[in-house]
Amino acid sequence: MSTIERALPPGGLLLGQRLRRLAPVGLVAALLALAVGAQLAVFGGNLTGFVEFGSRSAQFTRAPVGALFTSSSGYDGQFFYMQATDPLLLHDSTIRLMAAGGAGFRMQRGAYPALASALALGNRAALPFTLLAINIVILLSVAVGLAVFARHRGWPARWTLAIALTPGLFLPVLRDLSDPMATAGVLAGLLCWQARHRWWAALCLLVAALAREAMILAVMAIVFDVATQIWRQRDRRPRPWLATAAQAWPVVVLPTVALAAWRLYINARSGGSVGYAAGSVPLENLLQELKWSFAAEPRLALFDCVYVALILAAVVRLAQLLRREVTLFGLAAALMSLSVLLPRLGDIWADTRLSGAMFALLVITGLQQRDRTALRIAGAAAVLTAPVVLLSL
């Protein structure tokens, strides 16, 4: 205890401790307010700027009157906006336009636009606001929830920043993307499962899978965790798998069935399979993205080089940690790395978005296993958020 802390009365010391624990949350809120405010100034107060409509895609996205077109191609937020106008895909025109715009497979990521539509109460003019507001609330909730969880586990609260500020969680907030919801759902689902709140875990993972289909990999990690429990209990009592399976079935079955059912519904409505995100040879996608960054965005090329290096460092460290000890979060992080290494990346931001869950889970893994290398890698990724935000303005 410092000299200043010894001089404080007990009430003042308790207040000081609480303020230190809340400091990371305050910092996340301040940086988020600064980033959103700066972008809003660039957009002239037009919230559709966060959607990032593209002039070439306007015929497919039902851009509202007065929409701001930030580029020729736009970004994925424009398709989430479009789906939010018809979240249940009841109109054939929605499916036809999504498919014609090359976003057919994105229709399975319906949780985010559905929530935005519900909050807008059928008012399309409110969609740009609800799409942004959802992600702001999610990011702040992640910061608060992890700060509280860290306090109960005795972990330094500062590592909340390594998750809340990781580029794959923070930057999509500014582009109306579903990644914050997907990552938050995975984190909450796995933490609930570890705390034996199986129905909450099932709900969180269901939302995560319907926000981004790759999040079903977290369910696979739970399947392995359950199988490991059954194997360890095989000599302790007869039929150990019955009780364990009875405990785990909602967490495994509900997200899987929900994602499969939603996809079957989309296929039935579209008259055929809408396909999947294209894949590539492992690591080839990252090399291709580096080429794009040097050719198209020289200002961000250095960031991209460092970030790709951190992705590879995280993958190597996760493999080392799994050799040391197989844990739920370590396995989930390793499986999430497949969603970074295998898909074909369509732009220089793709690796950032796809690696968000992996880096967030790497932080929890590092804290649980007290691995400083893992924490430093994830922390370095989070530090990169600030210059990217500045360069994007």
Taken in order 115, 119, 122, 125, the sign of the CA dihedral is negative
What is the residue-level pLDDT of the chain in tens, covering all 393 positions?
A: 444 445 445 555 455 556 566 788 999 999 999 999 999 999 999 999 999 999 888 888 889 989 999 888 889 999 999 999 999 999 998 888 888 777 788 899 999 999 999 999 989 999 999 999 999 999 999 999 999 999 889 999 899 999 999 999 999 999 999 999 999 999 999 999 999 999 999 999 999 999 999 999 999 999 998 888 777 776 665 566 677 777 889 999 999 999 999 999 999 998 877 777 777 777 888 888 888 888 877 777 888 899 999 999 999 999 999 999 999 999 999 999 999 998 888 777 888 999 999 999 999 999 999 999 999 999 999 999 887 776 665
Closest CA to 48 of 71, 32, 72, 64: 64
CB 78 within 8 A of CB 62: no
Separation of alpha carbons 85 and 215, rounded Å: 24
User: Which residue from 214, 145, 227, 136 is spatially nearest to 176, judged by alpha carbons?
Assistant: 136
| Residue 92 backbone dihedrals phi, psi, to 5 degrees | -60, -30
First to last CA, the chain: 43
Q: Are 139 and 173 in contact (CB under 8 A)?
A: yes
Residue 224 tokens read as: 């392995």
pLDDT of residue 273: 78
Which amino acid is residue 17, in one-letter code? Answer: Q
Phi, psi of 346 (to 5 degrees): -95, -10
The rounded distance, in Å, linking the Cα atoms of 194 and 82 is 37
- Which two structure tokens, joined as six digits, stand for 3? 């000299």
**Residue 286, both tokens:** 């990252």
DSSP label at residue 43: T
Who contacts 391 (Cβ-Cβ below 8 Å, separation ≥6)?
299, 300, 303
Surface-to-core class of residue 370, CB atoms within 10 Å of its CB (0-12 exposed, 13-18 middle, 19+ buried):
exposed
Q: How many beta carbons lie within 10 A of that of residue 261, not counting itself?
A: 10
